Amino acid sequence: MSIIFGLSIAITAFAFSGQLLAAENRMVYGETGRLETYDPYTAHEATAQRMSDLIFDGLVDIGRSGDYVAGLAISWEVSKTGSEVIFHLRNNVTWHPTATSVKASAKDVGPAFQASDVVATVKFLTQARSGIPNFERFSGIASAEEIDPFTVKISLRRAVVDPLRMLMFKILPASSLAAVKAGTLFRDSAFAQHPIGTGPYQFIKSNKQGEVLLRVNPGYFGGTPKIETIVMKSYADQSVMAQSLMFSALDLVTYVSPRDLGEIMADKRLLLLPYDALSYSFVALNNSRPALADRRVRQALSLAVNRKEMLEAFFQGRGRLISGPFPPTSWAYNLDVPSVTYDLARAKQLFEAAGLTDKNGDGILEDAKGVPFQLTMVVPVSGEGETLKKIVLGLQSYFAKAGIKLDLQFLDWVAWKKKVLFEHDYDMTLASWSFDDASNIMSLFHSSSAGPWGNNFVQLKNKGVDALLTEADATNDFEKKRAIYRKLHAVIADETPYIFLWTLTHHAAFQENLSGVRIEPYSFFKHVAGWSIQKRVGSGAL
């Protein structure tokens, strides 16, 4: 049975054309969850962010020592006030061509990258009608002005100590942005389905199986990558993805589930690389639901969950319990706020204080009118398939002990995103965040982000939280900002818009014939141009 399973994986690994099969110098990597859009801004998934590092570039980047290094800009000047930055752009960069042949040629180039592209991108990012989930992240940018074709000035709304940190966004072509029709959400545009960038790899096509085909950009300003073609494969279950790696149907997986680590480590052909993903997992509570509008109810639900037991049972303890809205390795994390300890007695006290008691002795809490307290958890069927089911069944069991009937509704990834992120039609769901800026939680909890496709899909609308987020964003004083974030951490932990769970140590895994692999937490493929892959002896098409 295992052999048949392995063969079926090997066959499906090459769902694209025979032209791709003939290419030996390619890397096939696995991700979980199917992408609906491929631009760097409209998708919520970390999968999409990793893809964007292959296709797009920013003006500047972060170097090994934490300093800024050249990207599309070769140099820059920051004004004394910190409210303006003049960027001098590379004059030898071109956009990817519109041709979609797998075979790359140095002659296949698009139009030249210029300052007008930066101006158009800034205009797009600072307009609310763009419909991107974290629009607030760019609210500090005022405008961009073209000085000449290769010089651009970006103005901020206020003085900032580190303005470049605000300007590390991906640049999009002005022509493609102009082609987006008025009134059309960017996620529904042709560009979002077939993006054009300046990055090391060009988007060629995707298919109904969720696979994406990329080809090398031979004229990449950072040096021509050594791997000619890259295929991203989508999986609904982490274990299946791990098995694909062990059966040599994949060259790399971006994340290995803790339950698969032992088997991967035992395979001498595979290498593991740990990294801090700046992420955490949580149970989202829809604050707009009448049953969850009372903070005491949300706090009681949090107290009813034995996080420590779950972390040990489902992840072999390979993680850390968290207490609030920042990744625990962030400077903004408040270590003085402890993670919630399992306390069923206290949970029942809070439920009773909120008017929920077991009036008829059936083990289920009822409200003052005798209506049973029943919630529905919408569960995305992707990624951690079996582990995800165990987690939600564990939650269901904990809540049952507290007198709550929890119904489970399993949806595929696309349907889940529509129901939760767009319609907000749910009581509870399980999710996780992965950060590029571990202190940037404005879009997660500010009330302005509570609209369709916004990151504040728990619908938290708290004036105190809004005020703290705004105050933190407005100051350049690091110690003051940290003090505000420490207070914000405590306030959000008390409000309990999430049941904060844990952060896990992430591991990437890859075949031994893939060399030069170096990854960074949020810019996974930042150094992909230096990666190389050798064909294995006797590996057939691989």
Residues 363 and 452 in one domain: yes
SS3 for 438-469 is: CCCCHHHHCHHHCCCCCCCCCCCCCHHHHHHH
> What six digits make up the tokens of 16?
């694209």
User: Following DSSP, what letter does each residue of 404-428 receive, concatenated?
Assistant: -EEEEEEEEHHHHHIIIIIS---SE
Is residue 192 in some structural domain?
Answer: no
Residues 65 and 50 in one domain: no
Residues 314 and 411 in one domain: yes
Residues 229 and 117 in one domain: no
pLDDT for 338? 95
Is residue 322 in some structural domain?
Answer: yes
pLDDT for 13? 35
Dist CA 378 CA 419 (whole Å): 9
Helical spans, DSSP H, in 101-256: 115-125, 174-178, 190-193, 238-246
CATH number, position 172: 3.90.76.10
Is residue 438 in some structural domain?
Answer: yes
Confidence (pTM): 0.77
Is residue 185 in some structural domain?
Answer: no
User: 481 near 441, Cβ under 8 Å?
Assistant: no
CATH number, position 213: 3.40.190.10
Among 404, 399, 351, residue whose Cα is nearest residue 373 = 404
User: 10 near 248, Cβ under 8 Å?
Assistant: yes
Residues 344 and 469 in one domain: yes
Residues 511 and 460 in one domain: no
Q: Which of 180, 208, 238 is the last residue of a domain?
A: 180
What strands lie across the sheet with 141-148, from one edge to the other?
73-78, 84-89, 151-156, 141-148
- What's phi and psi for 153, nearest 5 deg? -115, 125
pLDDT for 537? 44
Residues 124 and 149 in one domain: yes
Is residue 15 in some structural domain?
Answer: yes
Residues 260 and 295 in one domain: no
CA 303 to chain centre: 28
Dist CA 348 CA 343 (whole Å): 9
User: 48 near 36, Cβ under 8 Å?
Assistant: no
Is residue 471 in some structural domain?
Answer: yes
Dist CA 385 CA 387 (whole Å): 6
Q: Which of 474, 489, 504 is the last residue of a domain?
A: 504
Name residue 232's beta-bridge partners: 29, 212
Q: How many CB atoms lie within 10 A of CB 17?
A: 11
Dist CA 30 CA 245 (whole Å): 8
CATH number, position 477: 3.10.105.10
Ranges of the chain whose pLDDT falls below 50: 1-23, 537-542
Residues 287 and 392 in one domain: yes
Residues 302 and 370 in one domain: yes
Is residue 49 in some structural domain?
Answer: yes
Residues 356 and 289 in one domain: yes
The range of the structural domain enclosing residue 118 comes to 57-180
How many domains does the structure of the chain reveal?
A: 3
Residues 21 and 121 in one domain: no
Is residue 193 in some structural domain?
Answer: no
